[in-house]
Amino acid sequence: MGLWEAVTGRSRVKKPNLDSLFAIPSAAITLETAAGFRPTGVGSVCFRSAAGEAFHQMQTDVIALIRADPQAPEVSVTTDEYGYTWLTVHDDPTDVAGLCTDLHAVNTALVEQGFDGGLLCTLVPFADSSGRRFGLVYLYKQGTFYAFAPQGEQRRDNLLEITVRDQLSGELPMEQDLSRWLAVWGAPGLDG
């Protein structure tokens, strides 16, 4: 904490580092070797939609950019019960780097067009052979990751979430404040 922050009692908001998404492929290797979890090939960006033609055009351009690849992944857009938009990419589960590149492109387009205030999170789901699932969630405003492991109707597997945090703490900036580990019920890719 600097002098000005100490005097005013305010700290500077940490700027998110979207390039942290490129550390997920390495983390995926750790998750597979340590606990048998593999990426599902699905990833999504959650944001609050803005009204107006500029936002609609940006969303259309991002989808076109992702689909421009000759081996283009499937892209879908849905709205959840809270009014947030999920842009979801369905890709080859073995190409987590490609998936992260696509998710980074979505986030970057939102930021470059001035819609970063509406960004909530980016989510990459993982599953093991027994069917357990969790999403590795990147909190845009914090610049940190956490695990969200839904377990049945409105229940979480807290032990799995903390285990993932501990396994990845050396590779990713993991969120330490548990009150920021938001539940993202119904997030694309976590429904099994």
- The pLDDT, as a whole number, for residue 3 is 58
Q: Among 29-43, 50-64, 81-95, 106-120, which stretch is predicted with the lowest mean pLDDT?
A: 50-64
Burial 68-78 (b: 16+ CB within 10 A, else e): eeeeebebeee
Q: Which two tokens stand for residue 113?
A: 């067009």
Yes or no: say if 46 and 37 are a contact pair by the CB < 8 Å rule.
no
How far lies 85's CA from each of 77, 94, 102, in Å? 7, 26, 17
Per-residue pLDDT tens over the stretch 28-64: 999 999 999 999 999 999 988 766 676 667 667 767 7
Cα gap 140→112, rounded to integer Å: 14
- The pLDDT, as a whole number, for residue 117 is 79
Tell whether pTM > 0.85: no
- The pLDDT, as a whole number, for residue 4 is 55
Domains of the chain (ranges, CATH numbers): 25-180 (3.30.70.600)
- The pLDDT, as a whole number, for residue 34 is 92
Cα gap 107→115, rounded to integer Å: 9
Query: Has residue 12 got a pLDDT over 60?
Result: no
